[in-house]
Structure 1
Amino acid sequence: MKTLIKLMLIVFCTTRFCGSLYAQVAGRNDIVIGELMADPSPPVSLPNNEWIELRNISATAFNLLGWRIGDASGQSGPHAILYFITG
């Protein structure tokens, strides 16, 4: 069992930390959601804010002008972040 846990830890660390050392060609999934904070209802002692962290995992800068985030109930409005640098 300990060997399996060690192997899983090695695989996780290798893919998590070493995978970002190499430049990547810009592709379909290069802008990813890194974190998000939802404002649940009813409140559960969390800040009254909602946010999303977008990460550019490619080696290419992206212009986010016109991008929107949405779900089945609607879309967000335009926001001030218009240019997304690499990293």
Structure 2
Amino acid sequence: MSQQEAIHTPWVFNKEISIANVVSTIALVIAGFVYVSALDKEIKLNAQSIAYMTAQRKEDTVRIAHSIDNMNKKLDTLIAHIYNSK
């Protein structure tokens, strides 16, 4: 084929499928599946962690409110003793 003919010849795609292409495609699909399933597990673990932390924050809020109430009672008692002693 001369150089002139090569310039005007349309592209021809080879319709063969090599084993390497099939194997690499299957490997990519499997790797993608493993990656997505690992992400799913991590998402579930993060959701559990968030639920646990939310429950802890609620308990902390109740404990802090109780502690502040105790401080207020003690301050009220102290103020009452100061005013009663005068």
TM range (shorter): under 0.3
Structure having the higher helix fraction is: 2
- Pick the structure with greater CA Rg: 2
Larger fraction in strand: 1
Normalization by structure 1: what TM-score?
0.26
